[in-house]
């Protein structure tokens, strides 16, 4: 199938998670494009979409929310999975705007969501970001678990295999 992986990322950590997902889907025989959400004008030609975002101050990044809002009707006609990446750990990860995420998932007809641990490198943060982080108990370092990412991507690949290409993509 033709799959678009589109990920909002400020410092690159979440984009690399998206690339790991794309790699697994490609290895499973899918044709996968990667693009930043702001560069996606439409979903012509795609059967499925994986939409991801880093979480900042309990929200998905604007570019990812904007894509979901702009292309909701097109997304609803395709197979869609979403993922988030941040530093809040369970049970706090569930406190990351659950209503916003639930509404977004319903809007785009998402088949599933997964939260992955992210990366915090103080050296690459802007001054304002350091100030925000100073008040939180976020742990510096790369907490990404690429085995967990690849395992989730393999689940998505297996579900895609069981689905037929979407009519909207071949129209």
Ligand X SMILES: Cc1cc2nc3c(=O)[nH]c(=O)nc-3n(C[C@H](O)[C@H](O)[C@H](O)COP(=O)(O)O)c2cc1C
Residues binding ligand X (CB under 6 A): 9-15, 54-58, 85-88, 96, 118-120, 125, 129, 132-133
Q: Which is nearer to ligand X, 94 or 161 (CB)?
A: 94
Shortest Å, Cβ 83 to ligand X = 12
d(CA 104, CA 156): 19
Q: Which is nearer to ligand X, 58 or 158 (CB)?
A: 58
Shortest Å, Cβ 120 to ligand X = 4
Residue 59 CB-half CA count within 13 A: 7
Closest CA to 41 of 66, 78, 77, 12: 66
Q: Which is nearer to ligand X, 12 or 112 (CB)?
A: 12
Q: Which is nearer to ligand X, 72 or 133 (CB)?
A: 133
- The burial of 68, by beta-carbon neighbours within 10 Å (0-12 exposed, 13-18 middle, 19 or more buried), is given as buried
Shortest Å, Cβ 44 to ligand X = 27
- The strand pair at 48-56 and 59-60 is best described as antiparallel
Shortest Å, Cβ 14 to ligand X = 3
Which residues does residue 86 pair with via DSSP β-bridges, in sequence order? 117
- Contact 3/29 with Cβ under 8 angstroms? no
- Helices 98-108 and 62-70, interaxial angle, to 10°? 30
Q: Which is nearer to ligand X, 6 or 9 (CB)?
A: 9
Q: Give just the sign of the alpha carbon dihedral 123, 124, 129, 133.
A: negative
Shortest Å, Cβ 54 to ligand X = 3
- Contact 144/16 with Cβ under 8 angstroms? yes
């Amino acid at each position: 199938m033709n799959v678009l992986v589109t990920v909002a990322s400020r410092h690159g950590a979440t984009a690399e998670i998206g690339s790991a997902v794309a790699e697994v889907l490609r290895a499973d025989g899918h044709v996968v494009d990667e693009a930043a959400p702001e560069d996606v004008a439409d979903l012509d030609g795609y059967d499925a979409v994986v939409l991801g975002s880093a979480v900042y101050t309990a929200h998905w990044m604007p570019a990812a929310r904007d894509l979901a809002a702009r292309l909701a009707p097109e997304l609803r006609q395709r197979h869609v999975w979403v993922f988030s990446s941040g530093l809040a750990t369970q049970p706090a990860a569930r406190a990351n705007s659950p209503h916003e995420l639930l509404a977004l998932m319903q809007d785009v007809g998402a088949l599933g969501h997964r939260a992955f641990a992210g990366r915090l490198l103080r050296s690459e943060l802007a001054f304002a970001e350091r100030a925000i982080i100073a008040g939180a108990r976020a742990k510096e370092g790369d907490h990404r678990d690429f085995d967990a990412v690849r395992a989730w991507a393999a689940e998505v690949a297996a579900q895609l295999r069981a689905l037929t290409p979407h009519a909207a993509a071949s129209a």
